[in-house]
């Protein structure tokens, strides 16, 4: 049978992540020892309260029906969490929406507000889900380059007037993936002013809000006027090591929340109720889990950044997130360098161009292995000529 794909599928080629995964499998079959630092998936367990809640509620036969929406208990927990952690008031009745992981919401969001041909301002480099959502909506991405001389913040002044007039949505992500930059309050104030002037909706992806080191990230919603123009996405995947549970949420402008909820009601039947109960337990947790988690990642960060410096690879020490954004040595493209690292050191990272044109010349390195393994990474790098 001759199976033909839709025109839309032509926009979804095999991702670099799949290519790297296949090359990694090939190397493993050949007997190579591979250390994978390419995928941003937590390798640590969730807090005990999460596993205890799951264990308890999964035994309840009444919790196996459709959940449809977020339970009141979850909405309350999200509202309380935002008040406690960011001093932000979120109305649990109409300013909170549960999604099946933030990626789910990020991909669907453009379809709610953008028509084919509309412009969406997107960070370049940026998380790959943004491009997928824009493509599904038939919208046109306009990349806002994140470059070092601007502290990896978008230069709003550089956006042409005609693009500003056509733009429907601006996507931001701080702390960022792949670039672990932090936003400032003056920057967010400028974003709000810009959004109001050009009638642009702002989507702030705050998935790494709890993974920070020396400086706590700013919630977009904590800045005056933000709720008038936008929403904030958050997730339990990275903050509480619940990546496989697939639960996240959107908070902010009630009109935006209501519109996304309308789409979601036509797409799925909600998140498994025991997972919602576990999310409630995580958001209510007042133990030292988050502090300990940050300490683990900070130690990993320091080992890797110091080790890379010792082998002659100077990289910026990230202030937040679980990634190091590293410029590749002169003479290499990001892809060439990535495959050479696999071949010569058995280390897998992600080439920066996978996240957008401005990512060329960089690789993303995940802090997703334990300290002992990261020490091994540095030892391997010392033995190869790539960085000498």
Which H/E stretch holds residue 321? Answer: none
Clarify whether residues 36 and 74 are in a common domain: no
Tell me which residue range forms the domain holding 69: 48-284
| Cα atoms found within 13 Å of the Cα of residue 130, Cβ hemisphere only | 29
In 3D space, the residue among 330, 271, 322 whose CA is nearest the CA of residue 298 turns out to be 322
In sequence order, the 6+-apart residues with CB closer than 8 A to the CB of 27 are 34, 342, 346
Q: What is the pLDDT of residue 322?
A: 96
Interval 314-356: pLDDT, tens? 999 999 999 999 999 989 999 999 999 999 999 999 999 999 9
Q: What is the pLDDT of residue 388?
A: 61
Clarify whether residues 327 and 358 are in a common domain: yes
Percent of the chain with pLDDT over 70: 99
How far is residue 81's CA from residue 86's CA, in Å, rounded to a whole number?
8
Interval 363-373: pLDDT, tens? 999 999 999 99
Confidence of residue 263 (pLDDT cuts 50, 70, 90): very high
Which H/E stretch holds residue 249? Answer: strand 248-252
Residue 2 lies inside a defined structural domain of this protein = no
pTM: 0.96
Domain of 331: which CATH number?
A: 3.90.1150.10
- Which of the listed residues 236, 264, 284 is the one where a domain comes to its end? 284
- Which of the listed residues 269, 284, 299 is the one where a domain comes to its end? 284
- Which of the listed residues 284, 318, 347 is the one where a domain comes to its end? 284
- Provide the 10 A C-beta neighbour count for residue 14: 8
Q: How many domains does the chain have?
A: 2
Interval 131-162: pLDDT, tens? 999 999 999 999 999 999 999 999 999 999 99
- As given in the structure block, the two tokens for residue 165 are 């007039």
Clarify whether residues 247 and 119 are in a common domain: yes
Domain of 267: which CATH number?
A: 3.40.640.10
Confidence of residue 40 (pLDDT cuts 50, 70, 90): confident
Clarify whether residues 213 and 65 are in a common domain: yes
Q: What is the pLDDT of residue 2?
A: 87
* Confidence check: pLDDT of 39 > 90: no
């Amino acid at each position: 049978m001759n199976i033909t794909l839709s025109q839309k599928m032509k926009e979804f080629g095999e991702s670099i992540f799949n290519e790297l995964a296949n090359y990694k499998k090939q190397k493993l079959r050949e007997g190579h020892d591979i250390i994978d630092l390419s995928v941003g998936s937590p390798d640590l367990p969730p807090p005990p309260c999460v596993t205890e809640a799951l264990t308890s509620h999964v035994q309840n036969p009444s919790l196996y029906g459709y959940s449809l929406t977020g339970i009141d208990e979850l909405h309350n927990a999200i509202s309380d969490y935002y008040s406690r952690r960011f001093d932000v008031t979120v109305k649990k009745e109409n300013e909170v929406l549960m999604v099946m992981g933030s990626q789910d919401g990020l991909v669907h969001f453009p379809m709610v507000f953008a028509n084919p041909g509309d412009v969406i301002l997107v960070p370049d480099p940026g998380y790959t889900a943004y491009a997928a959502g824009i493509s599904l909506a038939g919208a046109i991405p306009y990349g806002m380059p994140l470059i070092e001389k601007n502290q990896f913040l978008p230069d709003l002044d550089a956006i042409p007037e005609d693009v500003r007039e056509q733009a429907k949505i601006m996507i931001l992500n701080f702390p960022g993936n792949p670039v672990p930059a932090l936003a400032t309050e003056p920057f967010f104030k400028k974003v709000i002013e810009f959004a109001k002037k050009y009638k642009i909706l702002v989507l702030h992806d705050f998935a790494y809000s709890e993974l920070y080191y020396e400086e706590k990230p700013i919630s977009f919603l904590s800045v005056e006027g933000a709720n008038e123009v936008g929403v904030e996405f958050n997730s339990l995947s990275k903050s509480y090591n619940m990546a496989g549970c697939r639960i996240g949420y959107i908070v902010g402008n009630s009109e935006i929340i209501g519109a996304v909820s309308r789409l979601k009601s036509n797409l799925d039947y909600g998140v498994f109720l025991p997972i919602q109960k576990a999310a409630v337990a995580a958001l209510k947790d007042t133990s030292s889990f988050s502090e300990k988690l940050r300490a683990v990642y900070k130690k990993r960060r320091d080992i890797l950044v110091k080790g890379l410096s010792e082998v002659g690879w100077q990289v910026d020490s990230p202030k937040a997130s679980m990634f190091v954004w590293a410029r590749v040595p002169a003479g290499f493209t990001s892809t060439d360098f990535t495959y050479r690292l696999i071949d010569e050191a058995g280390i897998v990272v992600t080439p920066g161009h996978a996240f957008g044109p401005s990512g060329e010349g960089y690789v993303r390195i995940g802090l997703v292995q334990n300290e002992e393994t990261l020490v091994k990474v540095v030892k391997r790098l010392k033995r190869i000529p790539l960085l000498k």
